[in-house]
Amino acid sequence: MSQYPLIIDAQTLSQHLDDDNLLIIDLCKRDIYTANHIPGAVHLDYGHIVKVEKPIVGLVPDDEDLRKVFSALGISADTHVITYDDEGGGKACRLLWTLELAGHRKLSLLNGGIFAWANNGFPMEYTINHAVPADFLVKKDTSVLATLDYIQEHLDDPDIQILDARSVAEYRGSRNFARKGGHIPGAAHYEWTDAMDRNNNLCLLPMEQLQQTLIAKGFEKNKTVVTYCHSHHRSSFSYYLLKAAGYNQVKGYAGSWSEWGNHPQTLVETI
């Protein structure tokens, strides 16, 4: 069992910076990382963990590409990855989800990311860190992945629930970035940023409050929940929100609306 929680706070992380087999990965904008970052953190460009086949974005890179990226970062089977970004956790969670899909389980999200770290006065570093390469072996775990075919096959399955993490306008269909607007039939809306405390560095709201909201929106822990947005960026955050709240059967839809909304045979709902 990991000594680190799935969602780790800045105070706890500050006490473990020198731990063996701990790797901190920064997914902030490059200029932010260059200016200041958590001591020891290495930087990763978000584009390295997603694949684009226009109009579909946010797809999973090929296994060999993932192996190269994660090996270059210095991730081995013994490495515990703690990651953060400058937006509350979307990019960081997409990294965690991609690692989980690749078979890696030693993962944590820094709650509140760089804002929670810097605004609480923890030390910053200004020198660029270079990763020590390792040998990463991809052992695909597709149980965390929902595909278009999977969702189509389960649209009427009462044991499958769908969480749409996009904005209200995207969910309703009044704002659209694909051929079709709206949402996947039956999907419940829970915009990803609504789980963040805007008065506390974009940290998660209290867990009890989040659990009550999830229940109010109809999500049940004994069912499988599929999360999606436009490219499984925002919805990766929702994926780990659910995990942290005790939902153990969660899948992420990588193609998300960029695939569903552009496919000629998918059904959509609007409000």
Active site positions, annotated: 229
How many other CB atoms are found less than 10 A from the CB of residue 5? 12
C-beta separation of 260 from 148 below 8 A: yes
pLDDT at residue 2 is higher than 70: no
Average pLDDT over residues 158-176: 97
Residue 139, amino acid: K
CA distances to 8, 54, 148 from 267, in Å: 39, 20, 11
pLDDT in tens, 227-255: 999 999 999 999 999 999 999 999 999 99
C-beta separation of 181 from 175 below 8 A: yes
Average pLDDT over residues 170-192: 96
Tokens 């829970």 correspond to: 190
Nearest to 93 by CA among 76, 214, 85, 22: 85
pLDDT at residue 144 is higher than 60: yes
Average pLDDT over residues 101-105: 98
Residue 191, amino acid: E
pLDDT in tens, 114-141: 999 999 999 999 999 999 999 999 999 9
Q: Is the dihedral of CA 131, 137, 139, 142 positive or negative?
A: positive
pLDDT at residue 75 is higher than 70: yes
pLDDT in tens, 186-226: 999 999 999 999 999 999 999 999 999 999 999 999 999 99
Residue 13, amino acid: L
3-state SS, residue 214: helix
- Establish whether the linkage from the previous residue to 55 is cis, with ω within 30° of 0: yes
pLDDT at residue 82 is higher than 90: yes
Go through the domains of the chain in sequence order and give each one's CATH number: 7-119 (3.40.250.10), 142-260 (3.40.250.10)
User: What phi-psi label fits residue 25: left (phi over 0), alpha (psi between -120 and 50 degrees) or beta?
Assistant: beta
CA atoms within 13 A on the CB side of 128: 7
Nearest-angstrom CA–CA distance, 133 and 55:
34
Say what the pLDDT of residue 44 is.
98
pLDDT at residue 1 is higher than 60: no
Say what the pLDDT of residue 15 is.
96
pLDDT in tens, 3-50: 899 999 999 999 999 999 999 999 999 999 999 999 999 999 999 999
Q: DSSP string spanning 194-212?
A: GGEETTTTTEEPPHHHHHH
